[in-house]
Amino acid sequence: MYWFIPLLLLLLLNKPFIGEAGKIKTVSLIDNHEQERESLVQSLEGIWNVTNDNHSINIFCNVPGGIYSDLMDAGIIGDIYKNFNDLELRWIPRENWNYFTNFSVSKEILEKKAVFLVFNGIDTFATITLNGKEVGYTENMFRRYRYSVKDFLRIGNNNISVYIHSPIEVSIKEYEIETKRHDGIPVLPICLPDKYNGECHVNHIRKQQASFSWDWGPSFPSSGIWKLPVLETYDVVMIGDIEVHITRQSENKRWDVKLIAHLESFPNNTISGSLISKLSHYKNKTSFIVNETNIENYKIPNSGRIAITQNLIVPDDFVDLWWPNGYGQQILYDLNVSFNSSEHVSKSIKVGFRTIQLVEDAIENHEGATFYFKINDLPMFMKGSNWIPSNILPEATTSEAGEKRIRKLLTDANIANMNMLRVWGGGIYESDFFYSVADELGILIWQDFMFASSMYPASESFLSNVEEEIVQQVTRLQYHPSIALWAGNNENEGNLKHNQFGTADHYDLFKDDYIKLYADVIKTNIEKIDKTRPFVLSSPGNGKLSDEQGYIAEDPGSSKYGDVHDYPFWNNGWLPSSFPIPRFISEYGLQSLPNYQTLEEATDNPSTDLQYGSDFMEKRQHHPDNYGSLDFQLSTQFSDEKIDFKNYIFRSQIIQAVSMKVGTEKFRQFQNTIREDSAGLTMGALYWQLNDVWQAPSWSGIDFAGRWKMLHYYAKNFFAPILISGNVIDDLLTVFITSEVRNTIEASMSIIIHNYQLFKDINTISKNVSITPQNSSIYYQNEVKTLLGDNDLSDTIIILKLNIESQQHNLENFVLTGDLKKVTNVPHTTCTVTKKDGPDFQLRLKTDSYTPFVWLQTNITTGRFSDNGIIMTTKEKDVYFYGDNPDISIEAFQASIRVSSLRNTTQLI
């Protein structure tokens, strides 16, 4: 019971202690692949020690892990996300940190011909020493490093040190070297905007760029061993990555599967054995397709790696297709690869059968080209958002809790009818767990490479470092059916062309560096490794046109080519005219604040910090406009009366949700339409952004605590497979129905003109409609004044309904035509729990007058409501809560419910 005393003495006396690591067990070398073998793999996971240079800190730590997590666990620092810790902990990345431990090596291990020390992820610059001898140096957190260490080890006790150099200091040195190479011209930008409270020279190192701060995140550039380190030991080979290239041969009614198994050994080793690949039917496990390749006396080259190619011919009747969310099932097949010799090693992955094309065709009689995805020969509108790292600390993305967080976020995206997420280029290449869950849920991934909003060096050493990064990551991830597209960078083509960072004075120099990095290195390697997916050099970009114009388009971000980014900061976000009509929009958004409960978790002084204009809220806001553009949006839609901070949060979420609804509906309305000015044929909308990395104002729809903002509830509706939407432009009401369903749907459509001052429907238009599959069309159009009678448009709201008999439910939407500044009544709204089903509840809302943006909250359990931010134009409405705690009673849940609305915010929590 007194086990803790040595630990307390250690912390008090600050004495070094050698932790334990090195248990022998079977582990996965690459994230979550299953791997079995007779050869031994010794994990170095466990309790290590970490100390700084002057030994003022010397603590136990976890490996895998990272320095911020270690210091929090040891009680040296508090919760990094609380108070002003992002500013007060700036000393941490300026220190060098030495991670060290002892581990035991058996005679059995050292008798193996090959012993490799493998680091799957070190963040970032580390000198590795084994038993006092330097083994290697790492310089890229996105790379796996593998060292032959048989001659460095001894039977029994061994010690290892991973001395991690300050990323701040290294970036300064790299900046000085690169500036000298550039004849005194620095790689721009030199620093992040002051408002970010970040660091400088981050574009010189291969480390998560957003960890140095962004306009939505803090500066916590970690150091640590963020992925599992192991000793690999064997006599013959280990199986590394498995590439799977699947192509459809429709004329032969078959699928060709080209499999490349990457075997890792040691130079000059001679191997013999058989490589067997087995593809199992996803239902009938006795049905499988197999291929065997025999190898006789093959001499391993100096690289220590060989790649063996096998071809499997899979008949159509063996295959059920993998489909994105909303279009069908996500069928996955087990593919097992084994190598049999004096040792046996095998590895299993899951693959899906689907085809993917990015269609960029000239448009007859119009300027520009299409830009849309065809999956399994079916054109699809891509609906989704942008993914930033699930945690600003990379080690927190690979832990058990981190994986739980990732699964919840991806599940939330699936629930919101999303079929694509863009993994943004300022974060990290996600773990195999992330992509495997995306495979399961049918969420396609637009995968950026990790370059964002900066110019980058093009020195020989930098390009060589990047090349190995690209080869490793593409080879690792390539088999996932969810990955739809590779993109070279985030926004750098436009940044260069439009002189965003002051590059104009040396444009040719920066252009040459740009082409060397993205075209000569990244594009070239992608085309070698993965010919089954499209690649774009930059996002946004003009697609093929950018390539044809020398990789820097004459007008990057043109709405007539490729994809665009667009933010209506200083335009009325509730007007469709504030949004462009592009071919594909991969970023658009407006800010809101996180839920008050989430902000409360970030401060020890909520009464003073959680106020508009407080020092805390000013430091949490990293947007260069501060709160200016958000205040502009609020003043545009709402009256100027004084409101408290909770109401400010609430209104910010209303602004964001309605703006994204208006923009997204416009994009979906134009998927089949092209105007005379060649605008239109929009086939994708990925808003910025899905998730958060701390409690602060941002563009997210889900806050850092996992609570849905109003935006995510609205996304579930505006991304629905069948959408009825409308607008009033120049006194003309236009109603659209958009369908992704592949068959004609019969429905009854209702258009209701509601006078909210009277709390009364003043006109209803009903008609039966046949909804065209895979199409967006106008189903009603009329001058709105003919529908109003003697009523004023500013006193109305238009309710749109679809009653689909086959689905036995109504689809409902609204068009905000009224002036919310005229809404002054304070409604009396109640919510009664009427039914319980396990962890779920049915609720009935009742109100006595027009009640816009009814917001339901509970603090007793986690879960989600079936709808929220509701516009009530009727006296009653049923809502459901989907929870995760079956032990909560109706009485307890009823007592926890809080109901708020635009003019009644007293119950906001």
Task: List active site positions.
Answer: 491, 587
DSSP one-letter string for 129-157 = EETTEEEEEEEBTTS-EEEE-GGG--SEE
SS3 for 569? Answer: coil
How many angstroms separate the CA atoms of 257 and 509, rounded? 43
List % helix, strand, coil for the chain (3-state, nearest 5): 25, 35, 40
Enumerate residues 6+ apart whose C-beta is below 8 A from 470.
449, 521, 522, 525, 526
Number of neighbours of residue 6 by Cβ within 10 angstroms: 11
DSSP one-letter string for 484-550 = EEEES-BSHHHHHHTTTTS-GGGHHHHHHHHIIIIIIIIIHHHHHH--SS-EESSBSB-THHHHHTT
In sequence order, the β-bridge partners of residue 349 are 335
Could you identify the residue written with the tokens 């602060």? Answer: 696
458 burial type by CB count under 10 A (0-12 exposed, 13-18 middle, 19+ buried):
buried
How many angstroms separate the CA atoms of 578 and 586, rounded? 16
SS3 for 904? Answer: strand
Cβ atoms of 515 and 551 closer than 8 Å: yes
Cβ atoms of 280 and 287 closer than 8 Å: yes
Q: Which helix (H) or strand (E) holds 434?
A: helix 432-441
Q: Give which of 246, 267, 266, 261 is closest to 295, Cα–Cα.
A: 261
Cα distances (angstroms) measured from residue 27 to each of 23, 36, 395? 11, 8, 18
How many angstroms separate the CA atoms of 446 and 290, rounded? 32
Question: What is the phi/psi pair of residue 219, to 5°?
Answer: -100, 105
Cα-based torsion angle of the residue sequence 815, 821, 825, 831 in order, rounded to the nearest 10 degrees: 50
DSSP one-letter string for 337-390 = EEEESSSEEEEEEEE----EEEE--B-TTSSSB--EEEETTEEE-EEEEEEPPS
Number of neighbours of residue 398 by Cβ within 10 angstroms: 25
Cβ atoms of 63 and 69 closer than 8 Å: no
Cβ atoms of 208 and 428 closer than 8 Å: yes
DSSP one-letter string for 222-288 = --B--S-EEEEEESS-EEEEEEEEEEEEGGGTEEEEEEEEEEE--TT-EEEEEEEEEEEPSS-TT-E
Tokens at 627, concatenated: 């709160």
Buried b (16+ CB within 10 A) or exposed e, 609-625: bbeeeeebbebbbbbee
The one-letter amino acid at 624: P
Cβ atoms of 841 and 835 closer than 8 Å: yes
Cβ atoms of 835 and 842 closer than 8 Å: yes
In sequence order, the β-bridge partners of residue 900 are 855
Cβ atoms of 221 and 165 closer than 8 Å: no
Q: Where are the beta strands (DSSP E) in 630-774?
A: 684-687, 722-729, 732-739, 745-755, 760-771
How many angstroms separate the CA atoms of 44 and 65, rounded? 12
Cα distances (angstroms) measured from residue 699 to each of 155, 235, 567, 692? 55, 53, 11, 8
